Amino acid sequence: MDVLDAGRSERPGTVVADTTYGPVRGHGDGAVVAWKGIPYAAPPVGDLRFRSPRPPEPWSDVLDCAVFGAMAPQGHDTSVPLDPSMRIDEDCLTVNVWAPPPDGEPRPVMVWIHGGAYCLGSSAQAVYDGRLLVERGDIVLVTFNYRLGALGFLDLSSLSTANRTFESNLGLRDQIAVLEWVRDNIAAFGGDPGAVTLFGESSGGGSITTLMTVPRAEGLFHRAIVQSPPATSVYGAERAATVARRYLELLDLPAEGAGDLIGMPVDDLVKAGDLLVDEIPTRVPGTLAMAPVVDRDLVPHYPVAAFQKGLSHRIPLIIGSNKDEASIFKFMRSPLLPVSSEAVQQMFTGLAEDNPDLSPERLAEIAAAYPDATKSRGVLALSRDAAFRMPVLWVADAHSRHSPTWMYRFDHATPMLKAARVGAGHATELPYVFGNFGTLNPDPTFWLGGRKSTLEVAGRVQRRWLAFARHAVPAALDGSKHWPPYTEGTRSTLLIDNHDSVVVDPDHDMRIAWGDEVMGFS
């Protein structure tokens, strides 16, 4: 579609955009128009359960897009702030767009992948509301729902038969379907399909590091911002088959009865998935029950290994992690990350078993880099570095050999978060990126003050992210500290705090202790 034809006013406060599947009505206040709940795929129900996304049925009447679509089926984990009024349904494959009223001028596009350990979350979470970011950056913003947990990241392909096919990496396939939808439709909303920035956090960031090595995704996005990715939490087909068999056991199904999953109530599938989500990381700390799988089909290689072999897409990249990633998992008592000395020791045992070339002496060298390894502070640091900091460094080192790369570390925390010993914990940077503070109920962020400095930090983060989306260079152009590219020669890293600073190789000792060999579970 010619961008000059993008959008048309239907009545005051609304704009209709014509997509490849039918017209959609957005609602706005003059500054930003929002289209919510646009179907990008057919409902993945019945025979389409555990199958790749299919195109939706076209429609001819204008589809009113005033409210978010249903969120993907998932457990009710209180650690993720979700609106209790939100509907949960398998028919969840919808996309949301925020944009200035289309005026014929193509704008950069930012596509957000929400996190939640591949089993939780929704694009409707208030922290992801796109209005402020669009107003500040004059961009088009896309968020979306994708299948989660057992329905999205449990690989049942080993149970396929002549009569029933189960496909792998369904959540990733949904994400690719969204990127294809953006390519084909975003011009209708005033966006430039040739300037798409994919950004995401936690499992959303891990999805991006995986997609950056997926041939089918190449060319669908042109730059990436990756926040706190568990980049090594991608598993092999044999391990995936073992997890699939355990899932059937939790449902009292024999292997030959896998076909019964198609007709089972979705609540039963989610409950069994929740049990698995708790069980797997408890038995093998440092691993996830459900995550992307190297199926040699959609995902041909372990992503971090693919980065190291020079197989990642040639696009500019911003990547980083938070100073105190692990603290929030201890605060929530979550099994998703090992936060006790016993669990960390089990994690190291698993590393040794999964990496036969990893000697006890080598593990001892790593542990020696953490003088408080038996205390809470050292345990959290070890867990943080294994899950986030080292995978980020491995990816940045490899990608910077052929494409522009920038590294950050998010260090800022409000006085309240510091007092609670959360600090710059996992996901605490999210409101800084979107500008949406006060989305928790109640929200303790500013109980001890710090609002003014926090909003200043948020402004700098947003300006850098938006400059990258527009120019492929994160230049804030507002007098902020210059952010040089990351290379293996300098390892320049932007430390984001009350006052930004650029530090050369800030994690030198930790990086040397861990070494260059990629460690992970398969």
What gap in Å lies between CA 231 and CA 358, rounded to an integer?
Answer: 20
Contact 130, 144 (CB under 8 A): no
Residue with tokens 């979700």: 82
The Cα 399–Cα 486 span in angstroms is 10
Owner of token pair 């440092």: 286
Q: Quick check: is 222 catalytic?
A: no
Catalytic residue (choose from 325, 383, 399, 492)? 325
DSSP letter for 440, please: S
How far apart are alpha carbons 235 and 230 in whole angstroms? 12
Catalytic site includes residue 471: no
Tokens for 128?
A: 């992801």
Token representation of residue 219:
């060319």
- Angle ∠(440,143,136) on CA atoms, nearest 5: 75
Reduce the secondary structure of 341-389 to three states and give it as a string: HHHHHHHHHHHHHHCCCCCHHHHHHHHHCCCCCCCHHHHHHHHHHHHHH
Contact 496, 460 (CB under 8 A): yes
Secondary structure E strands in 396-473: 405-410
Segment holding 144, helix H or strand E: strand 140-144
Residue 110 carries which DSSP code? E
Cα angle 235, 241, 244 (rounded to 5 degrees) comes to 105
Q: State how far the Cα of 90 lies from the Cα of 76, in Å rounded to an integer.
A: 15
Can you say whether residue 496 is alpha, beta or left, with left for phi > 0 and alpha for psi between -120 and 50 degrees? beta
**Type of residue at 453:** S
d(C-alpha 446, C-alpha 45), whole Å:
43
Say which of 202, 228, 312, 492 is annotated catalytic: 202
Active-site residue, 313 included: no
Q: Which residues is 451 bridged to in the sheet?
A: none
Contacts of 275 by beta carbon, 8 Å cutoff, 6+ apart: 250
Catalytic residue (one of 157, 207, 426, 492) = 426
Active-site residues, by number, are 202, 325, 426
